[in-house]
Amino acid sequence: MLDPAFLSRLEKLALRSRARATGARQGGHSSRRRGQSLEFADHREYVPGDDIRHLDWHLYARLDTLFVKLFEAREDRTVQIVLDRSASMTGSKWDAARVAAAAVSWASLCTLDRVQLFVADRGLKAEGRPARGRGAIHRIFQYLQGTGTAGRTDLSGASKGLPPARAGAITVLISDLWDPQGVEEAIGRLAHRGGELHVLHVVDRRELDPSHLSGDLTLVDAETGEELNVSVDKTVRGELAAAAADYFATVELLCKRRGIGLFRLDVSEPVEDRIIEWLRAADEQAGRGSASRVGALRR
């Protein structure tokens, strides 16, 4: 499903969270807990029962007091991918979305995270149990390849079915955000359920500037079958582009206020490069601890 070279590039990247991981198992992310990793965290006075292998003999020589060295624990975390599979995603947008989902899955599995894939239309359906380890990628690939677009978009309803996330969990929403009910409620619910939310907005430029459409048309909604008679000319196309810009600005403002990472994936551009670009930017933002990364993530 993904090119080996692309997979190789993804191995070096990971979707990092600003919050430290609180996973149940040992993983690849630093944790607030002390553990067995090589990352030094602190000292404390020795108490009987402590592993004497962790005594800091250099400090004892200087201070004549026994201290033990504490190390950070390395824990895993959960990456939940919500993939919009509504009928509006049909076409190149669906191809790009699947590639993005596969790429995030592979990058996460490579960092020993647990990955759980959900597909959303009017409801939410989990791909299976959370996957862990590189070997699980084949299962995810197979699922993605076997899944097509259908149904209406109801991100708000779908988000209700998503299990709660622990601190440090990452949720990635991959969607074109064409939700007749609006995306504010859905994004708000996903943002408040814990963890960190990334929105990967899949965009097809031709939908926003339909220069191939002109004259008297009957437009048919791909999801609902609803029809609308419209005479398309330059003016109408200009107004459509303006409405799209307003809509996108609303989404950006929404994400910015909630500190949600928003990245726009234009299907007319090389998808793999854009995904790499996104992961790098997200990595930088996580390291910088920026409260809002919307501006930086936007091209």
Partner 1 sequence: MNFANPAALWLLATIPPLAAMYFLKVRRRRVQVPTLLLWSQVVRNQRQARPFDRFRRHLLFLLQLLALLLLTFALAGPSISGDRYLGHSVVWVVDGSGSMQANAPGPSRFALAQQAVLDGVGALQGGDEGMVLLAGPEPRVVASFTRDHEALAAAVRSMQVTGATSSLADAVNLAVALTHSRQGRTMVVVTDGSDPSLQRVVNEHPGVRTRLVGKDAPNVAITAIDLRRSPTVDLESELFVTLRRFGGDSGPVGVEVSLDGQLLTSETVDLPADRPVARVYRGLGTTGGLLRVRLETGDALKLDDEALAWLAAPRRRRVLCVGCTALTGRALAVDSRFQLTAASAASPAEEATYDAVIYEQAAVPERPGAPFLALGPSALGDTPLPELVAWPQVTTWRKTHPAMRFVEPSALAVSAARAGATAGWEPLLDSDAGALLSTGVHGGQRGLMLHFAPTASDLPMRVAWPIFLLNSIGWLTGEEARGTQRTVAAGSALVREGWGDDGEEVRLERPDGSVLASPIRDGVARFGGLDQTGVYVLSGPGGRRERIVANLVSQMESDLSVLPPTPPPEQTVTARAAVAGRLSLLRPVLLLCALLLLGEWWLYQHKYRD
The residues of the shown chain that bind partner 1, judged by CB under 8 A, are 87-90, 93, 153, 176, 178, 180, 204, 207, 210-211, 213-224, 226-234, 236, 239-240, 243-244, 247
Between 141 and 247, CB nearer to partner 1: 247
Residue 18 CB, shortest distance to partner 1, in Å, is 33
Q: What distances in angstroms separate CA 31 from CA 9, 76, 166, one per listed residue?
A: 26, 9, 13
Closest separation in Å from C-beta 229 to partner 1? 6
Q: Measured from the CB atom, is 164 or 225 closer to partner 1? A: 225
Write down the least CB distance from residue 127 to partner 1, Å: 24
Q: Which of 199/282 has CB closer to partner 1?
A: 199
Between 135 and 225, CB nearer to partner 1: 225
- For the CB of residue 252, give the shortest distance to partner 1 in the complex, in Å: 16
How many CB atoms sit inside 10 A of residue 145's CB? 11
| Min separation Cβ 213 and partner 1, Å | 6
Beta-carbon contacts of residue 260 (< 8 Å; ≥ 6 apart): 187, 191, 197, 198, 199, 254, 294
Instruction: Say if CB 43 and CB 70 are below 8 A apart.
Output: yes
Here the tokens at position 199 are 């929105």
42 vs 226, which CB is nearer to partner 1?
226
Non-local (6+) Cβ contacts of 211 within 8 A are 237
CA distances to 35, 98, 221 from 70, in Å: 8, 42, 60
Strand pairing class (170-175; 78-84): parallel
